[in-house]
Structure 1
Amino acid sequence: MVDTRTRAYHIGKKPIDIERQGLKEPKAAAAAAAGHNAAVLLFIGLAMASFLASLDGTIIATAMANIASDFKAQSEMSWVATAYLLTFSKFSDIFGRKAMMLFAIITFMAGSAGAGGATTMKMLIVFRAVQGLGGSGLLSIVLIIISDIFPLEDRPKYQSIIWSVFGVSSVVGPLLGGVFVQQISWRWCFLINLPLGVVTIASVLLFLRLPFARQDLKKQLARIDYLGTAFIIGSIICLLLPIAWGGTPEHPWDSPEIIGLFYTAVLLIGLLMWTESRAVEPIIPPRLFLNKAVTVLFGVTFLTGMTFFGVIFYAPIYFQVVMGVGATMSGLHLLPMVLGLVVTSIASGAVLNKVKDYRIFIWIGTIMMSVGIGLCMLLDADSGMGQQIGFLLIVGLGIGLILQTVMLAAQAAVDKDDMAIVTALCGFFNSIGGGIGIAMCSALFNNHLTGRFKTFPLDVLAVSMKYNIAESITAVQELPPEVKRLVIEAYVDTFQFIFKCITPIACAAFLLSLFVRKLRMLDPSEIVMAAV
């Protein structure tokens, strides 16, 4: 690939400068063709990396019921999703793009292999966290490399392809997870990453050649924001644990453990703010939060993440338990939402050039998201296909209008030097919102369902305990008819309760979006991709 300003080829075994080496046109054309082919092959590898990392966030949605049932650990299943959203990294500027890209892929593959071979739920959760470390690194480094290897005028084209990859993974993930569960094993939801990861490693080793000014290892290590990283991870864990555990017989809301964890989270967040204000290269620059528009947009994407991940995680369980469909069919039932998300994500980019106001899309999106989730409160055991498709389609259309537009609005609210970090933080807050949303829904789900089970007659409760339905979701379909009817009613009431709790969060996202001021429109060449 040729950089039109320096006429140097940056991809291949070594850079080629036509003007300095005095290459004649035929040789120059051959070099350009070789560079172009290498760029295409490298981009395929980068797209594969993005697909892997984003796919793994949704592929387990339809497999979770079977995973929880196999390990008899329904109460812990939310951590399989939450652990993947906990970690992130940003060290490519310090150690170089290629080294960190390879580290992220290998870490992701190691986590995938461990998760695929897990023998306990706790083991699975630990390896999902390892996957999260690698996956978050993949998403961020891919976007940085694209900005490095492609000239300014070509970046929007390649960035739009990456957007499509995210969209495709949202559609393929739940379907593929369902197929693996029913046809092979849920373990292939993780093992599939191994052969695909090898392709990505090969493309990076063969074709990624970016200049990097190497530093002494001590200087590189000194640039890492250790305290900031530790306080971020610690505060997130201390926040998620009490949300997921609180309200259970073992951990009442007023128990010392729950109160202590909440206080510790607040303390760590305070220490994080103090540390980042003094760090040389902070992970989260405090100056960004002095910008009102940016802070509001971070809040909107955080609340949207809580809503989106809560729905996409528990909707398949509703279809499998209440509607009695298999894992693959539950993935098909999610198609209206994910297709709606993809359609409005792409369409909003085209229409935005004519409307020229980010706020309109965010307002419409948050309203549709709120309405769609509110309508989901009506879903029960007798809901028809029209209701199921229509309600989730509205949710997806709304979320699709929000995610990309919030990122673009945040970029428009800052100087060019801060566009990359504000983009990364949009993805970060969306993921953290998703983790908290899943943990919150898990606590509400388990507490409410347990409360409903306690109202059962003793004979029904005895049968339920025999089948261990509290920890094995798939056992519901094996219950005797009369007991099954009562259990499904309890699940329906619990799912409706979950949607009642998520709806105000979606409405809060709309109310917060009203405080977004009108922002300048970005030129296409200024756009930086976000991993959301």
Structure 2
Amino acid sequence: MTTPKTIFGSVALVIALGSLEKSIVTTPLPMIGQELQAGELLTWVVAAYLLASTAVLPLYGKLSDLFGRVRMLNISIVLFVMGAIACGLSQDINMLIAARVLQGIGGGGLIALAFTVIADTIPAKEVGKYQGYISVVYAVSSIAGPLLGGFFTEQLSWRWVFWINIPLGLLAVFLINKNLSLLNIRRKSRFDWLGALLLMVVTTLLLLAISPEAHLSKTVLVGLLLGFSLLLLVVEARVSDPILPYKLVHLSGYAISVFLIMCSQLLMFAVLVYLPLQMQWQQGMTASQSGLIMVFFMFSITTGAYCSGKYIAKSGIYKRSAVIGYALATCSLVQLYMGWSVHLSLVFAGLGLGFTLPALSVVVQHILPPKDRGIGMSMFSFGRELGGAVGVAICSTVFHSQVPTADISQKIDVLVLQQGFNLTYLTMAGIAGLALILTIFVLKSKSLD
């Protein structure tokens, strides 16, 4: 019989792939921009992956409910590896962005389905203990990410940032097919293809509407967004098994947990993407030097998640962790704005965001019925990934309101850069403060049975 620990061990590499991809590409960004003459398209190297992975996320969850977790995990990993190969072969910025879209379509299913598998096999109260194991996986992959990104860029080539996914992806396919066949369960139901398509369109339009790099008129994008959103609501109200089950919204604590995890990921990506850029553009550090400093942040996130998970497993109390987490995140972002001790700010920010992750995961896993667990966990992951994409877009908008161009081939005044980065951190501090208020007054505390 396959034990929960065996199942967790099988999906651990999938989690590692997803977390490594989020951190390894941040430190080589300036070098990629310089070699491919990216200009203001540089942030699309991150945003394109996040946009694509976010848009397809609900599809993986719903399809895994219907056709089985293992089938969808296989498809996800294969597409992810194909995208990584295309990224490594890219000769210009447009080709790289297109390849990142393909990689994102595959990457959308990695962590979402891995966490769904864990939710299928581990009781809600015990998930805190397994968050400790997840934290170890995140620690190794996330800390390795900035370091590997800097090392590959300076010693080999930034293309190795993508090549590294190929052997890891093949090993992940082997492990999940060997150990997870018992989870390949089908459920007979008609798939809401029209709803899925409309949801992808709405998500894409939302991200384009808030992105400063979008070429279409903002008025046109907002109009299209409202029109397709209304059409999505009409379609979902008429199908028997919708891609977005309305009943999930009525589950106590579900909607607020999705929004709060979106805030956590938004803040995480704001720091992950913009602090290395500040250290390299404004302070003249190398990719490796900025990567070493980012280790403080990634290690603190995993430490916070580990400690919070252990506390929740022992006490059954989760709200306290979330409150402390957002309070620390708010203070640390104010510190970054004020320019007080970057290292200490990163430690506080990492610990704070780490505290929130297991607390919100526990809420969602505890209240979801088994038959909707795939789509429920995927919508939770959807909120998390949407937060990352929205975070990059908001930061880019705020930053470019002060800095006319992000072309690193040009000399930009240090004071102008500082104003752009400071305003970005101040905006993120405001969002962290909002999340803290909502956690205190809206998130309910319940016992975990």
Same fold (TM over 0.5): yes
- Give the alignment of 1:83-94 within 5 angstroms: 83-86=48-51, 87=53, 88=57, 89-90=60-61, 91-94=63-66
Which of these residues, 445, 450, 455, is aligned with residue 399 of structure 2? 445
Determine the C-alpha separation between the residues in 1 that align with 2:254 and 2:70. Answer: 31
Which of these residues, 131, 139, 142, is aligned with residue 167 of structure 1? 139
CA contact (8 A) 1:68 1:471 kept: no
Structure 1 position 150, deviation (Å): 8.1
Alpha-carbon RMSD across the aligned residues, in angstroms, is: 2.9
Structure 1 position 354, deviation (Å): 5.5
Which of these residues, 498, 519, 530, is aligned with residue 445 of structure 2? 519
Determine the C-alpha separation between the residues in 1 that align with 2:150 and 2:252. Answer: 43
CA contact (8 A) 1:359 1:516 kept: no
Alignment correspondent of 1:530? none
Alignment correspondent of 2:266? 306
2:433 counterpart letter in structure 1: C
Classify 1:147/1:403 alpha carbon distance in 2 versus 1 (closer, same or farther; 3 Å). Answer: closer
- Give the alignment of 1:492-511 within 5 angstroms: 492-511=418-437
Which of these residues, 113, 117, 130, is aligned with residue 89 of structure 2? 117
1:395 counterpart letter in structure 2: A
The answer to whether residue 402 in structure 2 is matched with residue 432 in structure 1 is no
Determine the C-alpha separation between the residues in 2 that align with 1:213 and 1:388. Answer: 49
Structure 1 position 301, deviation (Å): 1.6
- Give the alignment of 1:167-246 within 5 angstroms: 167-210=139-182, 223-245=190-212
Alignment correspondent of 2:414? 488
Classify 1:156/1:300 alpha carbon distance in 2 versus 1 (closer, same or farther; 3 Å). Answer: closer
Bigger shift: residues 156-165 or 404-413: 156-165
Classify 1:358/1:420 alpha carbon distance in 2 versus 1 (closer, same or farther; 3 Å). Answer: farther
Which of these residues, 301, 316, 340, is aligned with residue 341 of structure 1? 301
CA contact (8 A) 2:366 2:448 kept: yes
Determine the C-alpha separation between the residues in 2 that align with 1:2 and 1:495. Answer: 49
SS at match of 2:14: helix
Determine the C-alpha separation between the residues in 2 that align with 1:154 and 1:391. Answer: 31
2:279 counterpart letter in structure 1: F
Instruction: Using structure 1 for the length normalisation, give the TM-score.
Output: 0.76
Q: Over residues 272-312 of structure 1, what are the superposed CA-to-partner deviations in whole Å (9 max), with x where a residue is unaligned?
A: 23333333333321122234532222222222222221111
Determine the C-alpha separation between the residues in 2 that align with 1:472 and 1:234. Answer: 30
CA contact (8 A) 2:132 2:307 kept: no
Q: Over residues 69-109 of structure 1, what are the superposed CA-to-partner deviations in whole Å (9 max), with x where a residue is unaligned?
A: 22222311222212222332222233333332221121111
Alignment correspondent of 2:229? 269
- Give the alignment of 1:398-417 within 5 angstroms: 398-415=352-369
Q: Over residues 398-422 of structure 1, what are the superposed CA-to-partner deviations in whole Å (9 max), with x where a residue is unaligned?
A: 1111122112123345556555543
Determine the C-alpha separation between the residues in 1 that align with 2:285 and 2:155. Answer: 15
Determine the C-alpha separation between the residues in 2 that align with 1:152 and 1:310. Answer: 30
Determine the C-alpha separation between the residues in 2 that align with 1:519 and 1:377. Answer: 32
Structure 1 position 324, deviation (Å): 1.5
Higher radius of gyration, 1 or 2: 1
Alignment correspondent of 1:360? 320
CA contact (8 A) 2:67 2:185 kept: no
Aligned length: 442
The answer to whether residue 71 in structure 2 is matched with residue 99 in structure 1 is yes
Classify 1:227/1:184 alpha carbon distance in 2 versus 1 (closer, same or farther; 3 Å). Answer: same
Identity %: 30
CA contact (8 A) 2:326 2:435 kept: yes
Which of these residues, 27, 36, 41, is aligned with residue 62 of structure 1? 27
The answer to whether residue 101 in structure 2 is matched with residue 129 in structure 1 is yes
- Give the alignment of 1:370-389 within 5 angstroms: 370-379=330-339, 387-389=341-343
Alignment correspondent of 2:283? 323
CA contact (8 A) 2:83 2:103 kept: yes
CA contact (8 A) 1:412 1:520 kept: no
SS at match of 1:324: coil
Mark the runs of 5 or more structure 1 residues left unpaired by the alignment: 4-35, 451-469, 477-483, 524-532
Structure 1 position 2, deviation (Å): 5.8
2:44 counterpart letter in structure 1: W
SS at match of 1:372: helix
Classify 1:2/1:363 alpha carbon distance in 2 versus 1 (closer, same or farther; 3 Å). Answer: closer
CA contact (8 A) 2:128 2:311 kept: no
Q: Over residues 340-379 of structure 1, what are the superposed CA-to-partner deviations in whole Å (9 max), with x where a residue is unaligned?
A: 1111111112223555432222111111111111111123
Classify 1:499/1:272 alpha carbon distance in 2 versus 1 (closer, same or farther; 3 Å). Answer: same
Alignment correspondent of 1:77? 42
Bigger shift: residues 89-98 or 149-158: 149-158
SS at match of 1:245: coil
Determine the C-alpha separation between the residues in 2 that align with 1:150 and 1:291. Answer: 20
Structure 1 position 270, deviation (Å): 2.6
Structure 1 position 186, deviation (Å): 0.9
Classify 1:151/1:314 alpha carbon distance in 2 versus 1 (closer, same or farther; 3 Å). Answer: closer
Alignment correspondent of 1:293? 253
Classify 1:47/1:352 alpha carbon distance in 2 versus 1 (closer, same or farther; 3 Å). Answer: closer
Determine the C-alpha separation between the residues in 1 that align with 2:356 and 2:131. Answer: 18
Determine the C-alpha separation between the residues in 2 that align with 1:355 and 1:511. Answer: 23
CA contact (8 A) 1:231 1:272 kept: yes
Classify 1:354/1:136 alpha carbon distance in 2 versus 1 (closer, same or farther; 3 Å). Answer: same
Classify 1:495/1:268 alpha carbon distance in 2 versus 1 (closer, same or farther; 3 Å). Answer: same
